[in-house]
Amino acid sequence: MQTSIRRLAVMFALSLAPLAPAAPKEEKAAEPKAAESKAAVSAEEVIRRVDARMALKSDFKSTVRLREKRKDGTEALLEMLVFRRDSSKDLLIYITKPRNMAGGGYLRIGRNLWEYDPSVGHWQRTTSRGNIVNTISCEEDFDRSHLLETYEVQDEGEETAAGTKFRKLFLKVRPGMEASFPQLRVWVDPDYNIVKRVGYAPSGRTLRTDVIRGYQKILDPAAENRPVYLMREVLEVEEAEGTQLTVRYDEVELAPLSPNIFTKTWLEGRFR
């Protein structure tokens, strides 16, 4: 589903405050406001529907292209293949570009994420909060949506932009759960798509702001061609350094994958 002009305008309006250099003050995670109006759908139900719209029964493969722009003007282009099997929570990321990083990747085994360096043939355990390919992206950016499983949800009412009402929700990681961002604030459109999200440290300091620029509608063949709505492009902005990263999810395929893909042997074999 291509993003409509109207939705782009709305997202743009929403993104202005946190992205503009002259923003009067930083949006804080602490002390979330109480809901300003009674909503028909509970906060937890909103997040459940967000997760459900992106839930897959089929295996997932996508070419992901990243464009990183740092504050000093330097730019970097990266490309990788992402493989997922949500039924077993398997995830593998295989880096294909640039050439000096090609052959590396990440493999999740159980709850552990491992990073592979093909230049030395070495695996190193990393964390869900670690950066992927030295960018500001993290494991969750390429994983299934499981917000309700990971976070407690608090309603912050509605916000209107360009004539559209958005549900504003504050999410705090559940005890015993791991997340890249211990706290999140998200804005959800009437179709239950997240259009903006802000990640915070436990102190309430802003870490990263994301604007979801579009979704793509795809039929899930393993779920009787039920439509799912996956992110197409996301703009990520790091608060501390001002680094911007555009993440595009291209060439998405929903089809059975070999179980061999989700192994160290498979990734090691790409570089030979």
- Specify the 3-state DSSP secondary structure of 70: coil
DSSP assignment, residue 13? H
What is the value of pTM for the model shown?
Answer: 0.85
Name the average pLDDT for the chain. 87
User: 141: number of CA atoms within 13 Å, CB side?
Assistant: 30
25 has a pLDDT exceeding 80: no
What is d(CA 155, CA 167) in angstroms, rounded to the nearest whole number?
Answer: 8
Please tell me the predicted confidence (pLDDT) of residue 7.
Answer: 55
187 has a pLDDT exceeding 60: yes
Please tell me the predicted confidence (pLDDT) of residue 11.
Answer: 54
With a pLDDT cut of 90, the percent of the chain lying above it is 76
State pLDDT tens for residues 115-158: 999 999 999 998 766 788 889 999 999 999 999 999 999 999 99
Residue type, 183: Q
CB 83 within 8 A of CB 94: yes
105-109 and 112-117 as β-strands: parallel, antiparallel, unpaired?
antiparallel
Quote the tokens at residue 170.
């504050």
- Which of 28-32, 45-49, 188-192 comes out lowest in average pLDDT? 28-32
- Specify the 3-state DSSP secondary structure of 172: strand
DSSP assignment, residue 35? P
Please tell me the predicted confidence (pLDDT) of residue 28.
Answer: 52
What is d(CA 52, CA 95) in angstroms, rounded to the nearest whole number?
Answer: 29
Sign, Cα dihedral of 161, 165, 170, 174: negative
What is d(CA 4, CA 236) in angstroms, rounded to the nearest whole number?
Answer: 20
- Specify the 3-state DSSP secondary structure of 51: helix
23 has a pLDDT exceeding 70: no
Number of Cβ within a 10 Å radius of residue 32: 17
Length of the chain measured in residues? 272
What is d(CA 57, CA 85) in angstroms, rounded to the nearest whole number?
Answer: 8
φ and ψ at residue 236, rounded to 5 degrees: -110, 130
Residue type, 249: Y
